[in-house]
Amino acid sequence: MSEVTVKQLASTVGIPVERLLTQLKEAGISASGADATLTEQEKIQLLGYLRRSHGKDEGAADGAPDQVTIKRKSVSELRVPTAAPRTNPPGSRPAPTPRGGGKTVSVEVRRKRTYVKRADEPATGTTPAPRRQSNDRSRAGRERAAATSAVIDESRRRAALEAMRAEQEARRLAEQEEQERIARAEEVRAEEERRQAAEARRRAEEDARLQAEREAAERQVSKASDTSDVAEAVTDTDVPETPARRTESAKPKKAVKKAAESVEKEKERPVKKVVRKEAAPVRVRDVAAAGRGDYEDVEGAGGGRGPRRRKKSSKPQLQDKHVFQRPTSPVTREVEIPENITVADLANRMSVKASVVIKELFKQGMMVTINQSLDRDTAILVVEEMGHRALVADERDAEGTLLDEMEEQEGQFESLSRPPVVTIMGHVDHGKTSLLDYIRRTRVASGEAGGITQHIGAYHVETDKGTVSFLDTPGHAAFSAMRARGAKVTDIVILVVAADDGVMPQTAEAIQHARAAGVPLIVAINKVDKPEANPDKVMQELTQYEVLTEEWGGDTMMVKVSAKAGTGIDELLDAILLQAEVLELKAPVSGPARGAIVESSLDKGRGPVATVLVQSGTLRRGDIIVSGGEYGRVRAMFDEAGAPVESAGPSIPVQVLGLSGTPNAGDDVITVSDERRAREVAEFRAARSRQSRFDEQRGVSLDQLFTQLKDGEQKAVNLILKADVQGSLEALRESLLKLTNDEVKVAIVASGVGGLTESDANLAVTSNAILLGFNVRADAAARRVVEEKGLDLRYYSIIYELIDEVKQAISGLLSPIVTEEIIGLAEVRDVFRSSKFGAVAGCMVVEGVIKRNNPIRVLRNNVVVYEGALESLRRFKDDVPEVKHGTECGIGVKNYNDVQPGDQIEVFERTERARVL
């Protein structure tokens, strides 16, 4: 190589000149600057230094490559003849193609050969002398040229070989293709022959079947005629039938001979003898009919005559007369009316047709059906209107009898003091659960979703001052029903109010629940340890709700507490026990247990689990209980910590296993002597609840029938709701049903406690419903159906999010609010005729602005005569998008040519705004 400068070498290598100068200096090569020249020897010396500095072998410092790779590519063309159109026998070569025919195939051969340095060559890192280097270079050049020539020869030889092989392969493929084409043609021909043969065979079979059917029909016709002749001949013969004769007639030959003789006789017989057939049916009647009483044998079996129909007397007998006489005066009946009765049952009790009762109800303005249920008051009115006496039926059914027996048994046992049941109420995030946590020495609040309580918790605490049972209720507005249930079973209400927040809406609602239940109230002002706490402000706000503390001369106890620091907890317990002593709470300890359902849920491993607060008696393991529409035997009981217990006395909450289902929160719990009676009471309650739901749905649909027909079909949002506990489920149902309005209806197709199952998913498919899971999840089968059908499945753990999303979905179904705004008014001064636009109004814009793309109204004497759109808007000869106030313009009204001078053209805009709940 020729000498190069430092700058050129740096540009070739792709590094800065300064860096290359530094490397040259480190390699011991003197270079004054970027314009200094470098010899071949200096470049090799630099390369060796760089290899040594990067850990390479010094033997490779001479810069000679270890191997040389040579690549060659050759392209040639190969002409492949096409197959001849005529058919050649298999194995023969195709006929030659005319000159100029065939296909041209390009054959490209790529070769690569690598030469590696021999191992016996010296690999020293020393630099040879210039003369030796020159000789070595020339010898290496000669060797490289020889190697290159050999490689080129080898490549040409291989290219020729590959071309020959490609030509042979192309010729072989052409022959194979021709053979395959011939074979396919043979298969098509054979298939066509088989199809034609099958078609001919099918036609032959069809012809043979038709011929056989015709012959069979002809044989049946001839046989029928022969049989009729034979029957007639036998009928004309009066010889009695004997078993021997029946046996002979069954023989085929004799029957045929006899039939032939009968035919001959029939030909010779006069025509008038045919009328004797009338006697035949009487003689060949089945004798068994006489045994049923339909016929009687008048002349006896030996008379030769068959049974004959008994003749009835033409005169009516005395006992056949109708002796009922219509009453001359109306009949007054006493009709027992239960709580609910259907129209059909009411008609039966009055001995009238159901249509009469329906007609009477129509007169009173009620459209009913025969199966519709009527309440007691309506039934009494109908009975009295129809002239009968209505009596109230005795309602002592299985449930009433059981309750009466329970009251009698409770009076037989001595009542003893019981612990108080305390309900903690208050607003969201005012520290109710944290206060209870400090008393129980647990951390329940840390496990709650969003830091709030989603369902009622029942606990009993053993303190130094006595036992106290606590009910922790949620503070969110949606759980008002749950708080109401908590106030019904409680003895004392603790109202928790944050000292830094004051009285809130749910605080006022808790005060109302406590007053409705008639229980005393204790105010616990929480978070008094905060710097911004102001207890006096809270007390002042409570006076607005007629809650006056003892410090201010009232009768309500007030305690300042801190759930975090534990301040005032002992004073709060003292106040609770003092209030309990004043109330003198007592209940019988012995005898059958009676209580209430605080909460219920469905556990996957344990089944229905109900939290029962015992109010009287003692509940033991093995007792048979009935709660609402569910019943069962108590298989196991656990306290709030999960420890098993054998019994629970008054005011003690326990978890019960063994019910047939999840009862509703708030249902009563009664101990029954035997399982048969428990099942009877539970089924009666379930039927009554089912009937009430049915009546409610039917009444609503009938009342809204004409409204829906008039206003169109009402939009509906179908929901399938599953929750972890019954209390949360009821609260969610009430909150969602309140979202129904005149345009959109929220319909809860199904609801229940437990996870989402496959049946829920299939129900969502049929009813086009949305699946909502509150603290529950769908199982594998339900998830598979959801994925296959593309259902909308959503999980929630906080009630705010669920209600808000359903509210947004309903808002999307509401029709938008459409408003109109007049933006311009033009007065027509003159009308011109145009061949293109028809009548064109020359106008003056008197108000606002006239826009081309907006809708318009044509006013005549301030009365709208046309509403449409503009076809053209021009200013002189130019089309303009808008014309402002005080400007003349030409307006063409689309599809309207009756514009007159003096009319006004009004331009307006419509705006739509989404409605929200």
How many other β-carbons are positioned within 10 Å of the β-carbon of residue 831? 16
Are 458 and 470 in contact by the 8 Å Cβ rule? The answer is yes
Q: CA-CA distance, 568 to 528, in Å (whole number)?
A: 10
Percent of the chain with pLDDT strictly greater than 70:
72
Taking residues 815-836, what's their average pLDDT? 83
429 among the known binding-site residues?
yes
Joined together, the tokens standing for residue 82 give 């096409």
Domain positions in the chain: 4-63, 68-218, 334-392, 419-584, 704-813, 817-913
How many other β-carbons are positioned within 10 Å of the β-carbon of residue 655? 24
Joined together, the tokens standing for residue 822 give 């007049």
- The reply to whether 429 belongs to the active site is yes
Residue 625 DSSP SS3: strand
Query: Binning pLDDT at 50, 70 and 90, where does residue 297 land?
Result: very low
Among candidate residues 229, 423, 432, 667, the one labeled active-site is 432
The confidence score (pLDDT) of residue 718 equals 85
The confidence score (pLDDT) of residue 9 equals 84
Beta-bridged to residue 37, according to DSSP, are: 5
Q: Does domain 704-813 have CATH number 3.40.50.10050?
A: yes
DSSP letters for 516-542:
HHT--EEEEEE-TTSTT--HHHHHHHH
The confidence score (pLDDT) of residue 295 equals 43
More confident residue, 31 or 831: 831
Q: What is the pLDDT of residues 734-750, one digit of tens each?
A: 888 888 777 778 888 88
In this model, does residue 285 exceed pLDDT 50?
A: no
In this model, does residue 129 exceed pLDDT 80?
A: no
400 among the known binding-site residues?
no
Say if 704-813 and 817-913 have the same CATH topology. Answer: no
In this model, does residue 248 exceed pLDDT 50?
A: no
Angle separating helix axes 432-440 and 569-583, nearest 10 degrees? 90
- The reply to whether 911 belongs to the active site is no
Q: CA-CA distance, 870 to 828, in Å (whole number)?
A: 14
- pTM over cut 0.75: no
DSSP-derived pairing of the beta strands 421-426 and 373-375: unpaired
The identity of residue 204, as a single letter, is A
In this model, does residue 444 exceed pLDDT 70?
A: no
Query: Binning pLDDT at 50, 70 and 90, where does residue 606 land?
Result: confident
In this model, does residue 357 exceed pLDDT 90?
A: yes
Q: What is the pLDDT of residues 18-27, one digit of tens each?
A: 888 888 888 8
Q: Which of 209-223, 386-400, 547-561, 661-675 is the least confident region? A: 386-400
More confident residue, 884 or 696: 884
Among candidate residues 342, 423, 433, 671, the one labeled active-site is 433
527 among the known binding-site residues?
yes
**CATH assignment of 419-584, among 3.50.50.60, 3.10.129.10, 3.40.50.300, 3.40.140.10:** 3.40.50.300
The confidence score (pLDDT) of residue 71 equals 80
Are 774 and 722 in contact by the 8 Å Cβ rule? The answer is yes
Among candidate residues 388, 476, 513, 851, the one labeled active-site is 476
Are 384 and 390 in contact by the 8 Å Cβ rule? The answer is yes
Taking residues 30-52, what's their average pLDDT? 83
Mean pLDDT value across the chain: 75
819 among the known binding-site residues?
no
Closest of 722, 465, 495, 458 to residue 610, by C-alpha: 458
More confident residue, 122 or 739: 739
Best mean pLDDT range from 274-288, 356-370, 443-457, 509-523 = 356-370
Which H or E run contains 227?
helix 130-236
Which H or E run contains 616?
strand 607-616
The confidence score (pLDDT) of residue 828 equals 92
666 among the known binding-site residues?
no
853 among the known binding-site residues?
no
Best mean pLDDT range from 301-305, 370-374, 803-807 = 370-374
Q: Which of 23-32, 149-158, 778-787 is the least confident region? A: 149-158
Query: Binning pLDDT at 50, 70 and 90, where does residue 531 land?
Result: confident
Q: Which of 145-159, 190-204, 573-587, 774-788 is the least confident region? A: 145-159
Which H or E run contains 254?
helix 252-268
Among candidate residues 397, 429, 500, 695, the one labeled active-site is 429
Q: What is the pLDDT of residues 231-246, one digit of tens each?
A: 444 344 444 444 444 4
100 among the known binding-site residues?
no
Taking residues 160-184, what's their average pLDDT? 82
Taking residues 480-487, what's their average pLDDT? 56
β strands within 742-862, DSSP E: 744-753, 770-774, 793-796, 817-834, 838-848, 850-851, 855-860
442 among the known binding-site residues?
no
Query: Binning pLDDT at 50, 70 and 90, where does residue 228 land?
Result: very low
Tokens 């298969």 -> residue: 187
Cβ density class 501-511: b for 16+ within 10 Å, e for less: bbbbebbebbb
Assigned CATH topology for domain 817-913? Elongation Factor Tu (Ef-tu); domain 3 (2.40.30)
97 among the known binding-site residues?
no
In this model, does residue 134 exceed pLDDT 80?
A: no
- The reply to whether 830 belongs to the active site is no
Tokens 């006056």 -> residue: 548
Q: What is the pLDDT of residues 889-900, one digit of tens each?
A: 998 888 888 888
In this model, does residue 88 exceed pLDDT 80?
A: no
Environment class of 743 (CB within 10 Å of its CB; exposed 0-12, middle 13-18, buried 19+) = middle
Taking residues 826-845, what's their average pLDDT? 86
Cβ density class 850-888: b for 16+ within 10 Å, e for less: bbbebebbbbeeeeeebeeebbbbbeeeeebebbeeeee
In this model, does residue 648 exceed pLDDT 70?
A: yes
In this model, does residue 52 exceed pLDDT 60?
A: yes
Percent of the chain with pLDDT strictly greater than 90:
7
Q: CA-CA distance, 141 to 145, in Å (whole number)?
A: 6
430 among the known binding-site residues?
yes
In this model, does residue 97 exceed pLDDT 90?
A: no
- The reply to whether 257 belongs to the active site is no
In this model, does residue 411 exceed pLDDT 80?
A: no
Best mean pLDDT range from 31-40, 365-374, 510-519, 548-557 = 365-374
The confidence score (pLDDT) of residue 656 equals 92
Closest of 866, 772, 877 to residue 834, by C-alpha: 877
The confidence score (pLDDT) of residue 262 equals 55
The confidence score (pLDDT) of residue 714 equals 55
How many other β-carbons are positioned within 10 Å of the β-carbon of residue 115? 17
The confidence score (pLDDT) of residue 232 equals 42
